[in-house]
Structure 1
Amino acid sequence: MGFFFNFVVCLFSAIGSFLFGSDSGIIGSVVSEQFDLFHVYFHKPGPDIIGAIVSTFAGGCFFGAAATGSLATRIGRKRTIQLGALIAVLGCSLQTGARNVSYLIVGRLIAGFAIGSLSMVVPLYQSEISPPEIRGLLTGLTQFMISMGFLVSNWVGYGCQFLRTDTQWRLALGIQIIPATCLFLGMFILPYSPRWLVEQGRDDEAYAVVQRLHGNTQNKEFVELEFAEMKEQIRYEQQNYSTKISDLWSTKPMLRRTLTGMAIQICTQFTGINVSSYFQPTLYAALGLSGSRILMITGINGALGAVTTIIFIAFILDRVGRKPPLVVGAIGMAISLAVEAAINAKWGGADSHNHAAQTAGVAFIIIFSALFFSTSFGPVSWVYQSEIFPMRVRAIGTAVCTCANWASNVLISQVSPIGMARLGYRFYILFVCTNIANAVIVFFFFPETKGKTLEEMDAVFGDQVIPHALETKQVHNVGTDEKIDEERKSTVSEV
């Protein structure tokens, strides 16, 4: 079936990422002043309560990601995605039926647990079923579907603001149940990760999956060599290494992998993207905008972000690599936020009527998120963290990196309403500085991973122990033990 089947599998599994985007996007609309009936129903919650409603979701995501590392190893990536989808249905249902703030926060905590799980396991699943030359595209679909989630939720929010009953916010929160249900049911017909199948000793099933995902009449040799490399690397790791969490820092190369994976997720949060994502209507209100057009502009921004992301992952990411977009994106975001701070300092405020300044302020918020973030940390962070770990600790390592993302998210989402209220335009300056720091960190400390198979990452990080089949063009490359050699010969005949 080849590329088309591989693309469809990765795209459908990314519905889990769509849920991430839709939940993160819709809450910005729901807590905005345009959803007046939400504020009436919950007795006009202040900035601290709004911060808690938003950040509780991220807290749930942290614990969901933490719990998923070992689970994805035991029951597989596919079943973990399905479990996350079921929990998401429960959490979204509780939010939709909320009777008080506590009820709502519990629903967001449960939904966050599900999204944290999915945000970790979906890109992991995608990376393990993707051929190296298009892994950026296929794993980058995670960010594309996050953008689509924001897009749909922004326009749902725009439409729901005109409803004049509690349906205004209940419908906006409840619509997320539909994609969660589709994800749970649809995953029954999608394949298991072939690398997980090899780890479980189900080699025949694994090879059949590799053929379906990557096979065509022109690349039979590549499929055979990739499967042999995959099987040999995993078998070697099983025989010679443990799978403890302490392995993530047991050697200098492994510590470098772990710190790099955590760093890219922390840097992503400190771009300031979730200030824009969660509180975008508030940013527009600070420019003097009001009424329904705030949510309309939010929807336009979401649409542009989705378009930019798909163009970037389809035509640029796998050609230029991971590092250059990160550096350029960080510098671009720093400049955008510096200009935004200057506009708000000079012409901002709820009473502003400077149309030119408002237009420029909106433009730079969109340039920040829809252009620079969508062509850098947005897609690259999920690709990068999912491809750098060896199979024996890939799920645990990815979980630790995703936890770093959500821990940073909790901090930023909790303090942002207070920071914007007290500091005004000066709050932007914080993220100008962090984006400059991001560019420096990436430039000096991040290795390039473009075009490498997951098994070849050991050479990138300096801990390679066996030759790779795709380099040697041989299907067995380890030792001379007769039993192992016989197993490899058997593998060749199966292939």
Structure 2
Amino acid sequence: MAEHKPADFHGVSGEPTEAQSPKKHKRNKYALAISALASMTSILLGYDGGVMTGAAIYIKKDLKISDVKVEILAGTLSLYSLIGAAAAGRTSDWVGRRYTILFACAIFFTGALLMGFATNYAFLMVGRFVAGIGVGYALMIPPVYAAEMAPASSRGFLSSFPEIFINVGVLLGYISNYAFSKLPLKLSWRVMLGISAIPSILLAATVLALPESPRWLVMQGRLGDAKKVLDRTSDSPEEAQLRLSEIKQVVGLPENCNDDVVSVPKHSHGEGVWKDLFLHPTPSVCHILIAGLGIHFFQQASGIDAVVIYSPRIYEKVGIKSDSEKLLATIAVGISKTSFIVVATFLLDKVGRRVLLLTSSGGFAASLFGLAIGLTIIDRYDDHKLVWAVALCIAMTLSSVAFFSIGMGPIAWVYSSEIFPLRLRAQGCGMGVAVNRFTSGVLVMTFISLYKAITIGGAFFLFTGIGIVGWVFFYTLLPETQGRTLEEMEASFGSFFRWRTTMKELERKKMEENSVA
């Protein structure tokens, strides 16, 4: 008997077969445009993360708050976004992906105004709470929308747009810090935070021009509208028909159902999702859930936000004391981060998710290790700065964000948005965002206390260790998804869990036979 080899596990044999290999297509300009417009809402999260890097300096001086309150201020937005992310999945299944994005912009607009007009720390925290809910919504929906709009040939490219715009937002936040740092103290940080209300209005206006997701339309029984969208977003009429057939099969509609409006099975509206995700998951869904949540956990637990948000403190440690010089130096971090994310978007559908992810996480861990060594040496010889150690810290800061952006940054969103089955996708992705934001919030809220307890170099040694564990997790549990349609994805997962179930079943039968004997 021929030896059976799992076709979709560990990534070694998980490469697309020749029949599955993506063919070269001219990019669908319509799909590209609408994915870009929807993903631009991610600027809101990136801007808040970037602008808080510098705004915290002036908030601390103006409101005379402690480092602990600075940590809470910087990190709570990520925790508040859990509410938005948790609600976004159900909301998007209810009113659609497009109106959920519009809702996100409206909430963030309100939060930005509250932060801009804050008179004290408590008022500012109210604004952070409202903005955080908006960020949770804005962070969860764009990757889902882009993945559902994109043809398989360019899904990685289009689904990485949210991460591009997060990085653009970070860079804009850094530039805003530097541009408004010369204003009077009481005005500078308020303008930095409040001005983000303007892009939220512009983004809300663009959303009105977007079509609804074809997969959501089919889930509502609106086949005629779904056909129109698929015809415009597919690489060929044949692919459009194939995508529609696959979606109908997943939703539970017969293949010969071609009416413009039909009734759909009750489960297609989102009922029973939590039971299928957590109480009685199939081996494939169990594997998908672990992979989808795990990639978001390690993306944040490995310490990227410590580098991005607290880079001024790193630069202060290496000897840059002026506030304006520290803010100017952070712009270099933003440029490095944004430049490499653009490179990653063009590689995702050519190189594949797995190769980029393993390269990125390995390089990121190595960069954090170098940064930890440099900061430890600077701490030890604090009386006189060693030029090579300073240069090492600056180089490793830029290298870490570059390696992160070329893989871990975009792939977490691309991967989690494409692996969940259709009826579990919105709420599964919402859980991924919740893990992402919770991990980020805890890290940002504890980083200053952590490095005061174990030194700043020790903190980055800790992040290096987490990064190595993350690399092992990615290598072991994340198969390649390049070139597969969203409806084919579930078959790529679950080999390990099915194998364990089979082994347990064989052991149980053997025990029964022995007991009978």
TM-score (norm 2): 0.84
Partner of 1:18: 43
Name the structure 2 match of 1:485.
none
Alignment match, 1:394: 425
What do the CA deviations read for 1:43-70 (whole angstroms, capped 9, x no partner)?
A: 2x11110111012101111111011111
Q: Could you tell which deviates more after superposition, 249-258 or 341-350?
A: 341-350
Cα distance in 2 between the residues matched to 1:381 and 1:428: 22
Kindly indicate whether the alpha-carbon contact (under 8 Å) linking 1:128 and 1:193 is maintained by their aligned counterparts in 2: yes
Q: Secondary structure at the match of 1:166?
A: helix
Give the Å deviation of 1:248. Answer: 0.8
Q: Residue 354 in 1 paired to residue 386 in 2?
A: yes
Show the counterpart of 1:295. 327
From 160, 170, 174, the equivalent of 2:180 is 160
Is contact 2:115–2:127 with CA below 8 Å preserved after alignment?
yes
* Aligned residue in 1 for 2:91: 71
Task: Identify the residue that residue 40 of structure 1 maps to in structure 2.
Answer: 61
Kindly indicate whether residue 450 of structure 2 is the aligned counterpart of residue 411 of structure 1: no
Q: 2:344 aligns with which of 308, 312, 323?
A: 312
Residue identity opposite 2:442 in structure 1: L
Among 267, 271, 274, the residue aligned to 2:298: 267
Compute the displacement of 1:352 (Å): 5.0
CA distance in 2, matches of 1:462, 1:342: 40
Please list every run of 5 or more consecutive structure 2 residues that lacks an aligned counterpart in the other structure: 1-25, 255-263, 496-517
Aligned AA (1:347): I
TM alignment of 1:222-261, pairs within 5 A? 222-235=239-252, 239=265, 243-249=272-278, 250=280, 251-261=282-292
In the aligned structure 1, how far is the partner of 2:203 from the partner of 2:266? 37
Question: In structure 2, which of residues 120, 131, 135 is the aligned counterpart of residue 111 of structure 1?
Answer: 131
Q: Distance in 1 between matches of 2:460 and 2:437?
A: 21
Alpha carbons 1:287, 1:350 under 8 Å: kept: no
For residues 47 and 352 of structure 1, do their structure 2 counterparts lie closer, same or farther at Cα, with a shift above 3 Å needed? farther
The residue identity in structure 2 corresponding to 1:87 is I
Asked if the contact 2:102–2:204 (Cα under 8 Å) also holds between the matched residues in 1, the reply is: yes
What does 1:460-479 correspond to in 2, within 5 Å?
460-462=492-494
Cα distance in 2, alignment partners of residues 124 and 341 from structure 1: 36
Instruction: Select 1:344's aligned residue among 358, 375, 382.
Output: 375
Q: CA deviation at 1:283?
A: 1.3
Larger deviation, residues 376-385 vs 296-305: 296-305
Q: Paired residue for 1:377?
A: 408
Structure 1 residue runs of 4 or more that deviate by more than 3 Å after TM superposition: 236-243, 348-356
Q: How many residues are aligned here? A: 453
- Answer whether contact 1:243 1:393 (CA < 8 A) is retained: no
2: CA distance between counterparts of 1:462 and 1:409? 28
**Partner amino acid for 1:243?**
G
Summarize the alignment of residues 142-181 of structure 1 with structure 2, pairs less than 5 Å apart: 142-181=162-201
Aligned residues: percent identity?
28
Q: Hey, what's the Cα distance between the residues in 2 that align with 1:91 and 1:165?
A: 21
Take 1:150 and 1:406, find their aligned partners in 2: how far apart are those partners? Answer: 16
Q: 1:299, 1:243 → 2: CA distance?
A: 46
Letter in 1 for 2:277: L
Corresponding residue SS for 2:310: helix
Native 8 Å contact 1:62 1:116 kept in 2: yes
How many Å apart are 1:239 and its aligned residue? Answer: 4.6
Q: Give distance in 1, aligned partners of 2:368 and 2:409.
A: 17
Q: Secondary structure at the match of 2:286?
A: helix
- For 1:125, the equivalent position in structure 2 comes to 145
The whole-number CA distance in structure 2 between the counterparts of 1:285 and 1:207 is 57
1:441 aligns with 2:469: no
Residues 82-126 of structure 1: per-residue CA shift (max 9 Å, x gap): 001000000111110111111111111110111011111111111
Residues 271, 330 of structure 1: 8 Å contact kept? no
Return the match for 1:325 from 349, 356, 365: 356
**How far, CA to CA, are the matches of 2:265 and 2:183 in structure 1?**
62
Distance in 2 of aligned mates of 1:437 and 1:39: 36
Secondary structure of 1:374's counterpart equals helix
C-alpha distance 200-18 of structure 1, shift in aligned 2 (>3 A): same
SS at match of 1:181: helix
- Residue 443 of structure 2 aligns with an amino acid whose one-letter code is I
Verify the 8 A CA contact 2:421 2:487 in the aligned structure 1. yes
CA distance in 2, matches of 1:303, 1:341: 22
Which structure 1 residue ranges, 5 or more long, are not aligned? 464-495
1:481 alignment partner in structure 2: none
Judged with a 3 Å threshold, the aligned counterparts in structure 2 of structure 1 residues 387 and 360 are, in CA distance, closer, same or farther, namely same
Question: d(CA) in 1 for partners of 2:450 and 2:81?
Answer: 23
User: Which segment drifts farther, 157-166 or 74-83?
Assistant: 157-166
- What is the match of residue 277 of structure 1? 308
**Residue 365 of structure 1 aligns to which amino acid in structure 2?**
T
One-letter amino acid of the counterpart of residue 166, structure 1:
K
Residue pair 1:285, 1:350 contacting (<8 A) in 2 also: no
- Please tell me the residue identity of whatever aligns with 1:400: M
Deviates more, 1:408-417 or 1:239-248: 239-248
In the alignment, the residues of structure 2 paired with residue 270 and residue 66 of structure 1 have an alpha-carbon distance, to the nearest angstrom, of: 20
For the 8 Å contact 2:285–2:490, the answer to whether it is kept is: no
| Secondary structure of 2:44's aligned partner | helix
Render the CA deviation track for 1:111-164: whole Å, top value 9, x for unaligned.
011101111111111111011111111010111100000011101101211222
| Local SS of the residue matching 2:211 | coil
Q: How does 1:197-216 map to 2 (within 5 A)?
A: 197-214=217-234
Secondary structure (helix, strand or coil) at the match of 2:327 reads helix
Report the equivalent of 2:216.
Answer: 196
Q: Which amino acid aligns with 2:242?
A: L
Answer with 205-214 or 454-463: which moved more.
Answer: 454-463
**1:113 is matched by which residue type in structure 2?**
I
Q: What is the CA distance between 1:420 and its match in structure 2? A: 2.1
Give distance in 1, aligned partners of 2:95 and 2:383.
56
Deviation at 1:351, TM superposition (A): 6.0
Q: Name the aligned partner's letter for residue 245 of structure 2.
A: A
